[in-house]
Copies of this chain bind each other. A is one copy, B any other.
């Protein structure tokens, strides 16, 4: 790993955090970390702070990509597909190219237009990490620590490259790397991630005023922190996973409606039973989350 040159395309929160995680986990010296971004100020800041060796601006894609043994594409999902299509002949021969898109079906549907390719092996991952503050300014290596990394292997991927990526992800801090398919990925994250963001947004949207949290005990803040969302990115993520997301919203609406019915009808015993069951289920979930690394209870 140490003799390779790493490229980060899109030096935002995720791309920047990969650059920092490579350095802080002694996977690569900064001189071997290159980054491409439209934002010159971010590149300069990254160079000056020693996070990367050299920054490249649009127009210099071929120049940078020809040097990189591994490229992380950390762009919005649609941009990622465009970048792969337009740059496919510029990647270094024998390189690995990784995307980090939060939705995978659209990418798989476009895969044939850039992969398999004689120059590079394209591997699709989804680092389940982020934060409510975007951009390189808020990037930090610890973003990935203890988190899940989902990996969508393809039959065309070389086994040694899949093994390399799994190892690399663990070394950058992820607690586990889980292999799955694009369809399973999109169905599950519609529930565990996208639905939660939609709920948080709806909750803030419904709040009567900004001062209502003075009457709060912390629950409202915990539930709505993720409502501080990157609106264009999440709109794209939501719309490109619309079918699964709408299904998840409707599953949730049914559960909510069933609890509301118990309230309206004063079904005390049914409500105690429902809440007790939910408590047990959530405790079991805590046991299944990160069993080795940390407890979420």
Contacts and interface: CB of A to CB of B under 8 A. Distances in A.
Given A211-B288, A227-B279, A231-B279, A251 B128 contact: no
For chain A, the bracket of interface size reads 35 or more
A278 B201 contact: yes
Interface stretch (A24-32, A65-73, A185-193): A185-193
B231 A272 contact: yes
Interface stretch (A83-91, A162-170, A242-250): A242-250
A148 B218 CA distance: 9
Contact of A218 (B147, B206, B231): B147
Interface string A150-170: 100000000000000000000
A196 B215 CA distance: 13
A177 to B, nearest CB: 11
Nearest to A132: B297
A240 B178 CA distance: 45
Given A128-B218, A129-B217, A217-B193, A212 B188 contact: yes
A288 to B, nearest CB: 5
Given A130-B217, A148-B217, A255-B203, A282 B224 contact: yes
Q: Which of A210, A229, A245 counts the most B-chain CB atoms under 10 A from its CB?
A: A210
Interface string A179-213: 01000010011011101111111111111101111
Contact of A193 (B205, B216, B264, B281): B216
| Chain A interface helix/strand/loop/mixed | helix
Contact of A213 (B273, B279, B288): B288
Contacts of A192: 212-213, 215-217, 219-220
Contact of A223 (B223, B259, B277): B223
A227 B281 CA distance: 9
Interface in A248-263: 249-260, 263
Contacts of A2: none
A285 B243 CA distance: 32
23 contacts: A128-B216, A128-B217, A129-B217, A132-B297, A148-B217, A192-B216, A193-B216, A193-B220, A195-B203, A196-B219, A198-B259, A198-B260, A201-B259, A201-B275, A201-B278, A203-B252, A204-B278, A224-B282, A224-B285, A228-B283, A238-B263, A238-B271, A253-B257
Q: Which 10 A-B pairs have the closest CB atoms?
A: A128-B217, A231-B275, A188-B215, A192-B216, A196-B219, A202-B255, A206-B255, A202-B256, A231-B276, A205-B255
Given A196-B222, A210-B285, A238-B271, 11 more contacts: A197-B219, A200-B219, A200-B223, A202-B255, A206-B251, A210-B281, A213-B289, A222-B222, A231-B271, A238-B263, A242-B266
